[in-house]
Structure 1
Amino acid sequence: MNQRFIELGQGFSDLYELLELAKSNAYRVNYFLCMEAMSSGGRKSMSFVLVLKKSSYGDFIPLYICREGIPVIDGKVTKRYELFEQAAKDQDKKVIHMEVRHSDTFADIELYYQYLIGILRMNRYLPPLQ
């Protein structure tokens, strides 16, 4: 089973694309994830992840991510988070929150994504390798 992160980016338009993917693939959406991380500079940020169910033509599970582009300011809820939460509510799902390490603590972004996939498998949000 192939499970892979597809990074959309870190800006406003990337979040809107993620929300559009959730809307157009509503029948495949499995989870809405919000991952919070503290950078080495002491700034806290959120990543939004959309986990889809495996495709009908193969064993591929895409994980669309807007990586660490949403700052956390004094624990306040941002408009971008509200949009993400509303997209989850529209599909009768809840946003799952996780605290993870920041990507800047890894030498390579692929190692970071392997780390996240391991966490998601351990918490049973992704199936184990077959």
Structure 2
Amino acid sequence: MIQRMIELGEGYSDLYELIELATAQKSRVAHLLKFTTSKDKDTYCSFAVIFKPTSIGDFQPIYYCREGIKLTGDSISKREQLINDLASSLEKEIITLNLRHSTSFFEKELFHQYVIGILRLNHLISPLK
């Protein structure tokens, strides 16, 4: 099985594309994720959607918007609310994981391997075959 992280952007308008992908392919959505991270005393989040593997080719995409949403205290931003609404409409729970910031990796591909490892350890995606 091929599992790949696909970055749509940094979470501003790209978040709308993530929502549209999940809405258009409701039957393929396996999990909704919220990755939280800290950098310079600020907390950011990324949102991701794990799709079920394709029937042909056994490809499992993990679409995400990287660390573009700054979390502020107890209030929920409009973008967070959009993801909460998506979760309700898909009848899925949002799984929250705390990760290292992507800038702590020399290359984005290393960050992707790190996230895929975390997802496997938490049994959110299948182990390597």
TM-score, with structure 1 as normaliser: 0.96
Which residue in 1 is equivalent to 2:22?
22
Structure 2 alignment gaps of length 5 or more? none
The aligned residue for residue 9 of structure 2 is 9
**Residues 72-94 of structure 1, C-alpha deviations (whole Å, 9 max, x = no match):** 11242111001001101101101
**Paired-residue identity, %:** 43
Aligned to 1:73: 72
Residue 96 of structure 2 corresponds to 97
Distance 2:50 2:82 in 1: 17
Q: State how far apart, in whole Å, the 2-side matches of 1:51 and 1:121 are.
A: 12
**Which amino acid letter does the alignment assign opposite residue 7 of structure 1?**
E
Query: What is residue 122 of structure 1 aligned with on the other side?
Result: 121
Query: Counterpart of 2:19 in 1: which secondary structure?
Result: helix
Moved more, 26-35 or 3-12: 3-12
Structure 1 residue runs of 5 or longer lacking an equivalent are none
For the residues of structure 2 that align with 1:100 and 1:68, how far apart are their CA atoms?
A: 11
Q: Distance in 1 between matches of 2:110 and 2:74?
A: 28
Structure-1 separation of matches of 2:17 and 2:114? 25
Larger strand fraction of residues: 2
The ranges of structure 1 where at least 4 consecutive aligned residues each deviate by more than 3 angstroms after the TM superposition are none
Letter in 1 for 2:78: K
Aligned-residue CA RMSD (Å) = 0.9
Q: Distance in 1 between matches of 2:73 and 2:103?
A: 21
Equivalent pairs, count: 129
Q: TM-score, normalised by structure 2?
A: 0.97
In the other structure, the counterpart of 1:83 is 82
